Chain A
């Protein structure tokens, strides 16, 4: 992890989009994705419009296209599924390069590919421009249940401590000649995972004691109630509003 709760999907830049309050970005991404998903798959022009919108946001956020494309490979398994659909689909068929493809399957594949890619790109842009900490703060301000945001906050703090613990235990195993090459040697690893669990459990108790000592009475102090200015809401609403405009225009013109 880099500085200030970056995560592997975060791109530390200074841009208008980066500076937006996290809650407005979360809402904008969600609404945009909903518009994309409800758009009928035959509205090809609308999807082209969405792609242009994404490109504009990426430009504004100073996120390079290559960076986005590399990380959007997470989508590949779904794309593979989409490739199979035209071959195995039923109904009316067309011939293309000597292959008989199902029209319905082609539409299905396009549906998965277009909506999936746009959704992944939108999420990647959100992740690239928002740190983990801000994402949690944003969810908190959007009235996400505090139990969930608190668990995420603790995870954010302790995941590195855990990884360090695991790394030290692994080094200690290797230093004693452990050379895991065969399946039956996995036992030491499994025991290590168990030990890690126990350690975390004990740490949980100690953290709780330390929290009690500082006056914790079962309720976390609420984070600072900063509300995003209306200007930021207006700015970020441009994305879903433009997307909805494209969808309506495509439906009317078709």
Chain B
């Protein structure tokens, strides 16, 4: 079976010469949920923006379910952007249309879906995040947690094979955080989750990858990684006060 995501030897330097990625190798199997951990400035967002070809130009190769990311090829990149759904950190950046339904329809409409099919996509995606009754609302009038859920729906409507979540739990109150976890767990897609929220990673992702200074420094089961104090301290990763991964009964 081809991997959902396969990255080999990926490097990238910003135009100002700052080297952000130093040869990344990462493979994620279909249906896996993987957490991407690392301190601020480690290159996590840079890596994520390579997955759908928004950033490119370095060495190496990225493949999504066997299809290479080739930024020059318009047709291929459209298919890549369908397969890779990125949910950005600030839902206000993601939701730019005047109503929820229009925003969810934006992605599939770009793929050429029209008419009743488009309506079905919107309904399906909003139902998956439990926001169907808010379809005609204005994003500004939703709570932050609701907006984040709609942001997830906007990429689900494109029926992605890989869902990339950038800091999904940031700024959420505990109830919204738990609701989002339940939604993520219910989705039948491969998930790559960028997060600083280590308990969230433990709760949702059996496997974690630590990225630091543009290199992957660890790739192992999440519980083991979080329990490795020397590794954690070496890469500015800290567990919340009182949180001991060894004593947590996993809800997965």
Partners in one complex: yes
List chain A positions with a Cβ less than 8 A from chain B: 1, 3-5, 132-133, 136, 153-154, 156-158, 160-161, 203, 206-207, 209-217, 221, 223
Starting from the known contacts A210-B94, A217-B110, 16 additional A-B residue pairs (CB-CB under 8 Å) come to: A3-B138, A4-B136, A4-B137, A156-B98, A157-B140, A158-B96, A161-B140, A203-B92, A209-B88, A210-B93, A211-B106, A212-B81, A213-B52, A214-B155, A216-B110, A221-B106
- Which A-chain residue is minimally distant from B112 (CB atoms)? A221
Q: How far is the CA of A158 from the CA of B155 in the complex (A)?
A: 21
* Interchain CB contact under 8 A, A215 and B111: yes
On chain A, the residues within 8 Å of B82 by CB distance are: 215
- Which B-chain residue is minimally distant from A161 (CB atoms)? B92
Q: A206-B90, A209-B49 are in contact. Are A215 and B140 (CB under 8 A)?
A: no
On chain A, the residues within 8 Å of B110 by CB distance are: 214-217, 221
A-B contact count (CB 8 A): 82
On chain B, the residues within 8 Å of A212 by CB distance are: 54, 81
* Interchain CB contact under 8 A, B96 and A214: no
* Interchain CB contact under 8 A, B97 and A153: yes
Supply 12 A–B pairs (Cβ within 8 Å), ascending by A.
A1-B138, A3-B138, A4-B138, A133-B99, A160-B140, A207-B93, A207-B94, A209-B93, A213-B81, A213-B85, A216-B110, A221-B110
Tell me, rounded to whole Å, the shortest Cβ–Cβ distance linking A220 to chain B: 8
Q: A206-B93, A221-B109 are in contact. Are A215 and B78 (CB under 8 A)?
A: yes
* Interchain CB contact under 8 A, A214 and B138: no
On chain B, the residues within 8 Å of A132 by CB distance are: 98
B58-106 interface with A by 8 A CB criterion: 74, 78, 81-82, 84-86, 88, 90, 92-99, 102, 105-106
Q: How far is the CA of A158 from the CA of B139 in the complex (A)?
A: 10
B168 is an interface residue with CB less than 8 A from chain A = no
Chain B 5-37, CB-CB to A under 8 Å as 1, else 0, gives 000000000000000000000000000000000
The residue that A210 contacts in the complex, of B88, B99, B158, with Cβ under 8 A, is B88
* Interchain CB contact under 8 A, B158 and A215: yes
B190 is an interface residue with CB less than 8 A from chain A = no
* Interchain CB contact under 8 A, A213 and B140: no
Q: A3-B141, A4-B136, A209-B88 are in contact. Are A157 and B98 (CB under 8 A)?
A: yes
Q: How far is the CA of A161 from the CA of B141 in the complex (A)?
A: 11
Q: How far is the CA of A158 from the CA of B82 in the complex (A)?
A: 26
On chain A, the residues within 8 Å of B154 by CB distance are: 214
* Interchain CB contact under 8 A, B54 and A209: yes
Closest 3 CB pairs of A and B: A221-B109, A215-B110, A214-B107
* Interchain CB contact under 8 A, B88 and A206: yes
On chain B, the residues within 8 Å of A158 by CB distance are: 96
List chain B positions with a Cβ less than 8 A from chain A: 49, 52, 54, 74, 78, 81-82, 84-86, 88, 90, 92-99, 102, 105-107, 109-111, 136-141, 154-155, 158
Tell me, rounded to whole Å, the shortest Cβ–Cβ distance linking A207 to chain B: 5
* Interchain CB contact under 8 A, A211 and B96: yes
On chain A, the residues within 8 Å of B90 by CB distance are: 206
On chain B, the residues within 8 Å of A1 by CB distance are: 138, 140
Q: A153-B98, A154-B96, A161-B92 are in contact. Are A214 and B105 (CB under 8 A)?
A: no
On chain B, the residues within 8 Å of A213 by CB distance are: 52, 54, 81, 84-86, 88, 155
The residue that B74 contacts in the complex, of A4, A210, A217, with Cβ under 8 A, is A217
Q: How far is the CA of A211 from the CA of B88 in the complex (A)?
A: 11
- Which A-chain residue is minimally distant from B78 (CB atoms)? A215
* Interchain CB contact under 8 A, A217 and B93: no
On chain B, the residues within 8 Å of A156 by CB distance are: 98
* Interchain CB contact under 8 A, A157 and B97: yes
Q: How far is the CA of A109 from the CA of B141 in the complex (A)?
A: 45
The residue that B96 contacts in the complex, of A133, A157, A160, A215, with Cβ under 8 A, is A157
The residue that B98 contacts in the complex, of A133, A206, A207, with Cβ under 8 A, is A133
Q: How far is the CA of A154 from the CA of B102 in the complex (A)?
A: 13
On chain B, the residues within 8 Å of A136 by CB distance are: 98
* Interchain CB contact under 8 A, A207 and B105: no
- Which B-chain residue is minimally distant from A137 (CB atoms)? B98
On chain A, the residues within 8 Å of B85 by CB distance are: 213
On chain A, the residues within 8 Å of B139 by CB distance are: 157
Q: How far is the CA of A169 from the CA of B121 in the complex (A)?
A: 39
On chain B, the residues within 8 Å of A209 by CB distance are: 49, 54, 88, 93
On chain B, the residues within 8 Å of A3 by CB distance are: 137-138, 141
Q: How far is the CA of A94 from the CA of B109 in the complex (A)?
A: 68
Q: How far is the CA of A192 from the CA of B85 in the complex (A)?
A: 35
* Interchain CB contact under 8 A, B107 and A207: no
The residue that A5 contacts in the complex, of B84, B88, B109, B138, with Cβ under 8 A, is B138
On chain B, the residues within 8 Å of A206 by CB distance are: 88, 90, 93
